[in-house]
């Protein structure tokens, strides 16, 4: 969305990203690395691209090959096995190989601007690793923040003092080219970003009992922030800056944040493996949905994500698409793409 909005539909961008699907698509905890795929293509000695023909090696899963099929961009894999030292090396190689006109570090929601030890943070490690690496690469990097507060980790009010120039406000036209992707991709923050760009307003409930997320006029905005200030404020980013392994970075997270998000995934994966999909019974599902919506209305919730609905209705994540299709077919008027709308009255 942002590449087209800022740079037009000329040369597609190279998007360096994690394969880290948080157990919904990938049942294996933590991020995937090149050894977890077949069919990757070398771009530089340390960077591999993920084409549509690539496949994760079972039992791992990844959304990246399907994204590569649906998008015109080149998707390249962040490999965090060698910590920040390794990610910095990947960035340096890309800069040398591509000689890019611009480099943007994009975070949706804003937890990259955290100190790293806030109690509402759920996933600070991935951001801290990338932030620390971008501060060491031998090239100018612009830090962009889209949708302040939309990841349900830090409130927008806490982020505003650190936001600089407004770069863009996303519109329905910006969302159009990726609308089909948003119907299957499980990212909640990006779903809310797109929904606010389309005009959705209210309060959205997301997974894992995170803070309810206000859907406001601020939602579709994209701001620049100061990269060095973000790094100097982020205790975890500073701590992992010299790491040479992911395990070392995890230990810093345990010491500073009190946990490692990969430990959380390891624990969650243990109990998720015993939850087997069962055929959806429409009457039972709709009855449970009615109870969920009644409770949500009492709490002022107006929207939710299909990812959270799957969790709230006690279904395994693998049934998210099946649940979505059932609900849209049954109550299409509540589908505020790509979110689910909870009406004020039953």
Question: How do residues 63-86 score in pLDDT, each as one tens digit?
Answer: 999 999 999 999 999 999 999 999
Which helix (H) or strand (E) is 287 found in, with range? Answer: helix 282-298
Q: Could you give the dihedral angle defined by the CA atoms of residues 109, 112, 116 and 117, in that order, rounded to the nearest 10 degrees? A: -10
pLDDT score of 209: 67
pLDDT score of 316: 83
Which domain covers residue 327, as residue numbers?
A: 282-341
pLDDT score of 136: 97
Instruction: Say whether both 6 and 116 belong to one domain.
Output: yes
Q: Is residue 261 domain-resident?
A: no
Q: Enter the DSSP assignment of 313.
A: T
CA-CA distance, 125 to 137, in Å (whole number)?
Answer: 19
CA-CA distance, 198 to 341, in Å (whole number)?
Answer: 14
With a cut of 50, which residues of the chain have pLDDT below it?
Answer: none
Instruction: Say whether both 172 and 305 belong to one domain.
Output: no
Neighbours of 100 (CB within 10 A): 12
pLDDT score of 341: 98
pLDDT score of 116: 80
Instruction: Say whether both 214 and 162 belong to one domain.
Output: yes
Q: Is residue 249 domain-resident?
A: no
Q: What is the DSSP string of 211-227?
A: PPEEE-TTTTEEEEE-H
How many domains does the structure of the chain reveal? 2
Final residue belonging to a domain, choices 240, 268, 298: 240
List the helix and strand counts (H, then E) for the chain: 15, 15
pLDDT score of 346: 65
Buried b (16+ CB within 10 A) or exposed e, 71-81: bebbbbbbbbe
pLDDT score of 274: 67
For residue 218, what are its two tokens?
């601020």
Integer angstrom CA distances of residue 197 from 6, 211, 267: 15, 21, 36
Instruction: Say whether both 225 and 314 belong to one domain.
Output: no
Instruction: Say whether both 287 and 236 belong to one domain.
Output: no
pLDDT score of 332: 97
Phi, psi values for residue 199, rounded to 5°: 110, 0
């Amino acid at each position: 969305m942002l590449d087209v909005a800022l740079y037009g539909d000329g040369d597609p961008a190279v998007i360096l990203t994690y394969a880290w699907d948080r157990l919904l698509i990938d049942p294996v905890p933590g991020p995937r690395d090149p050894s977890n795929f077949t069919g990757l293509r070398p771009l530089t000695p340390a960077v591999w691209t993920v084409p549509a023909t690539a496949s994760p090696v079972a039992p791992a899963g990844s959304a990246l090959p399907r994204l590569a099929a649906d998008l015109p961009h080149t998707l390249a894999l962040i490999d965090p096995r060698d910590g920040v030292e390794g990610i910095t090396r990947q960035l340096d190689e890309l800069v040398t190989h591509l000689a890019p006109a611009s480099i943007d570090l994009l975070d949706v929601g804003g937890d990259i601007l955290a100190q790293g030890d806030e109690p509402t943070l759920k996933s600070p490690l991935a951001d801290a690793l990338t932030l620390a690496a971008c501060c060491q690469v031998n090239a100018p990097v612009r830090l962009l923040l889209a949708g302040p507060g939309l990841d349900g980790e830090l409130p927008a009010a806490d982020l505003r003092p650190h936001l600089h120039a407004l770069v863009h406000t996303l519109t329905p036209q910006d969302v159009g080219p990726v609308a089909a992707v948003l119907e299957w991709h499980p990212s909640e923050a990006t779903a809310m970003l797109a929904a606010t760009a389309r005009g959705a307003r209210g309060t959205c409930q997301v997974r894992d009992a995170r803070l309810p997320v206000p859907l406001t006029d601020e939602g579709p905005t994209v701001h620049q922030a100061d990269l060095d200030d973000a790094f100097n404020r982020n205790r975890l980013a500073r701590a992992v800056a010299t790491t040479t392994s992911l395990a070392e970075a995890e230990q810093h997270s345990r010491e500073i944040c009190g946990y490692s998000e990969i430990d959380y995934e390891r624990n969650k994966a243990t109990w998720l493996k015993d939850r087997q999909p069962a055929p959806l019974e429409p009457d039972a599902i709709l009855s449970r949905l009615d109870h969920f919506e009644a409770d949500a209305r009492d709490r002022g919730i107006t929207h939710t994500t299909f990812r959270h609905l799957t969790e709230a209705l006690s279904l395994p994540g693998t049934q998210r698409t099946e649940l979505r299709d059932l609900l849209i077919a049954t109550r299409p008027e509540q589908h505020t793409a790509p979110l689910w709308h909870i009406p004020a009255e039953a």
